[in-house]
Amino acid sequence: MADLDEKRPLVKSEPVDEIPIPVAAAPPRPRRAPLVPRWVRLLLKLALVAWCWLSLRNYMRAKVDSVLEMHEARWLASALSDSRPAMLGHPHRRGKVLFGKKAEQKFLTVPNAERANAALRQYASKPHLAGSPGDFETAKDFLKLLQTELGVHAPSEPPVFSAGTPESRNATLSITKLKAPAAWIDTYYPVMNTPLDHSLEILDEDGNAVWTAALEEVADNTDPEAGKYYDAVTTWHGLSKGGSAKGKLVYANYGRKEDYDELVANGVNLNGSIVITRYGGIFRGLKVKGAQEHGAVACLIYSDPRDDGPVTSENGYAPYPYGPARNPSSVQRGSAQFLSIYPGDPTTPGYPAYENSTRTNATNIPSIPSLPLSWANAQVLLEEIKEGGQNRTISLVNNVDDKVIPIWNVMGVIPGHIKDEVVVVGNHRDAWVMGAVDPSSGTASIHEVIRGLGELLRHGWTPLRTIVIASWDAEEYGLVGSTEWGEDFVDWINEHVVAYFNLDASVGGSRFAALATPSLAHFVRATAEEIEHPTRPGKTLWDATKDHGVLTGDHVDAEALAVYEAYHSNATSDSTGVGLLGSGSDFTVFVQRVGVASNNIGFQATLQDPVYHYHSVFDSVRWMEVYGDPGFARHVAVAKHLGLQVVRLADSIVLPINTTHHSFELERYLDEVESIASATNLDVDFSGLRSAIRSLQKASLKLDHEKTKAEKKLRKLLRRLAVRHYLRRSLRRAACGLKKLLGKECAHHVDRDAAPLSGPHVHAEKAFECSSMRNGKSGLLPFKPRIGRAPAWAKEQREHELLEADADADAGAAAFGGKKHRFPVKKFKKAAKRVRAVNQKLKAFERGFIHEDGIKDREWYRNLDIAPGKWLGYGATTFPALTEAFTIEKNATMARYEAKRLQKLIEKLAHQIKV
């Protein structure tokens, strides 16, 4: 028991009846409301998640955009071209390749006023009449420009090829096979003429001269070039008839058809007369044609200051070179060709003027002599025939030398990825004397375009489509250089050329004007709206279409004003504000003979501008620098607009050709014909033609839908490819970084989306061989001998850069032909094929208006949609064959025939563009 007692724990004895005092519970604290409500916190969390998601998405989008910026051009080229494109950019340098908007932005930084002014001085400081030694010098200057800017090797002998030879034909026909830029000169051999001697006299009753005209212009050293070269090229009409004539003067106003009709209606007999007309309204050659057809023996054409608006001495303006008004001795030279019959070499209509070409009797040149006159001389003659005048006999001599004269077209090529789609841009180079405005302002602007394209090439740019640059010759004689090239390569143009951009004189005044086939009207205007106004901050180049000069005066000839307004109203008849192309410049063969979407841009003179001395010795550098474009901002604006159009169209996935706008314009043309027909007693049914036009409109709207879907699908696939490329590269780099953390080497990896490296950029290193191999021994050294460390290190670095560069630049190429890839190769190829099919239909649209039989009495012109008016020359006539069946032929049978012919053409076109 004692042991048990010892093991009992000691327990404090306490009274049994003592109860512990309970602890009082703390009262519950009142629950405080949260500072931020729960729903707000939920919203904040959701906003945070959304912000994170948006940030990640924007980050991914930026990265994918960066990938697209680097590779889009190559991927598009791989998809749209038949062969794998060459590597883009510098082969030893990684970086983004210029394409699309980036290329456009880079181009727009290049043209500048100082260089444009220098180019104008280079080309317009000396006479360079077509076929002259000065002309050939400018051809070589332009060739050198192309070689320098495009990176073309200059051979020891200039590449000058005689048209029709294998060298010349191969140069153009191989454009679609070129892999590097090229440049050359083609020589054609048209029949033209040069002046020998001329005179103009008033004779008394005995046949003695009582007045002899001073036919040459009068200039002094106030204008240095004009003073030096005032008689370098005499005043005469190119392609005019040589010979002499005597007769009484008859005044025929502007020499238009309606002017001659009025004379006949008033009983005036023109047989044996010498007609005197003033410039304006229509092409000068048609004034001579009208005189010839009414029995006149010669024609005189003078420059009338009434057509200069308010800028005359009557309104207090000093004549040039002391002020902005017309120099009274200035003379407008120019071609007397019947332009609306056919352009080009008069002796080879429809085929090229080779040195050994068979010649025909020309039907588009006059059979009576003509001379251009100054206002100073015209005043004397007009005094003779005014009421109370003596009306003495006039004697005219115009001796010329008709002969084959070589001319030189300069051609340059920038190969694109899509070899069989070609964009052509052209400007003529020849001038009647120095031609600072016509054409050298255009040459100066295209000089800046070429510099801009050269800068893009030096930054790794390759256009999606091939670009051809042309400097045409002998345009002034009658569009000769471009026409001969067009006739020489008509099949090649028809197959490959998707658009032609023309630049004649880029600056002659203050108002910007654009002419185009209606399918390019929206494109021309949209690009002009992206170029800054040359003189008014905050405005665009398109705003300059409303500009005018600041010179005013109280005395303005009402008739001259009406003719000016009528001409410009017709020129801007398209609903977009873009004018219609008739003829008068080098777009003619492309639009009228082949059917190529084309345009022509430039600043033109208004009646409030300083007088532009067209085709005169006063068309000089000084006039341009003082009056035409001081500061050369307009030259630069035109260069930017032209270059932007070329770059954008060359790089566009779907050609920016608006067939729907054109097809709806056709109905407006028909409304005009119906209006003309309603004023006659000719009964013609247009219901079939209108139905065909509406069928074309429906087909075009469906084509619009198809081209939108086709481009959207291809861009969607391009983006998927970019996402895939970015994710693969990111994962690869992450894995590489992890290996490095673990102390392992990260081998260089060529992207699985890249095609196998090949070509000139990657070379297998050949093992070093020693002399013992000759004895049948191994001979392979166990090491690679080096001569110094630096060369070997540099070589390794280059190989490393090549691998990285090709891995990036070729990324995705295998998606178009490789195997074992998850990317939808078939879908990509299908999408690309769909785009190509759309582009073929867009290219074919303008071709659809070409009819092989042409227009009555002028079959060279084959476009039944728009052509130069038979009695206009420059200006356009819509539905020309049908319209002239009413206005000129006044024949119901012919009108029905033309309506039916046009209907069939449009029905065929609707079927051709059907999707």
Q: DSSP string spanning 166-226?
A: HHHHHHHHTGGG-SS-EEEEEEE--EEEEEEEEEEEEE-TTS-EEEE---S----TTSHHH
Query: So what's the pLDDT on residue 87?
Result: 46
* pTM strictly above 0.75: yes
Determine contact, residues 213/201, Cβ cutoff 8 Å. Answer: yes
Query: So what's the pLDDT on residue 738?
Result: 81
Q: From residue 590, how far is each of 579, 581, 766 by CA, in Å?
A: 17, 11, 54
**CB atoms near residue 822 (< 10 Å):** 7
463-504 confidence digits (pLDDT tens): 999 999 999 999 999 999 999 999 999 999 999 999 999 999
User: Above 70 in pLDDT, residue 157?
Assistant: yes
- Higher-scoring residue by pLDDT: 519, 765: 519
H helix intervals, 215-272: 224-229, 257-265
Tokens 């206002």 belong to residue: 375
52-80 confidence digits (pLDDT tens): 888 888 887 887 777 777 777 778 877 88
Burial class (CB in 10 A: 0-12, 13-18, 19+), 265: exposed
- With b for 16 or more beta-carbon neighbours within 10 A and e for fewer, the 670-702 pattern comes to beebeebbeeeebebebeebbebbbbbbebbee
Query: So what's the pLDDT on residue 273?
Result: 98
Mean of the per-residue pLDDT values of the chain: 88
d(CA 500, CA 596): 7
User: Above 80 in pLDDT, residue 816?
Assistant: no
Query: So what's the pLDDT on residue 752?
Result: 44
What is the pLDDT averaged over residues 173-188? 97
**CB atoms near residue 612 (< 10 Å):** 26
662-710 confidence digits (pLDDT tens): 999 999 999 999 999 999 999 999 999 999 999 999 999 999 999 999 9
Measure CA of the first residue to CA of the last residue in the chain; give whole Å.
118
Confidence of residue 426 (pLDDT cuts 50, 70, 90): very high
Average the pLDDT over each of 473-477, 554-558, 878-882 and give the range with the smallest value.
554-558
Confidence of residue 783 (pLDDT cuts 50, 70, 90): very low
Query: So what's the pLDDT on residue 800?
Result: 45
- Higher-scoring residue by pLDDT: 822, 221: 221
Tokens encoding 859: 């079959």
Query: So what's the pLDDT on residue 509?
Result: 97
Query: So what's the pLDDT on residue 2?
Result: 47
User: Above 90 in pLDDT, residue 740?
Assistant: no
Confidence of residue 785 (pLDDT cuts 50, 70, 90): very low
Active site residues: 475
385-409 confidence digits (pLDDT tens): 999 899 999 999 999 999 999 999 9
User: Above 80 in pLDDT, residue 582?
Assistant: yes
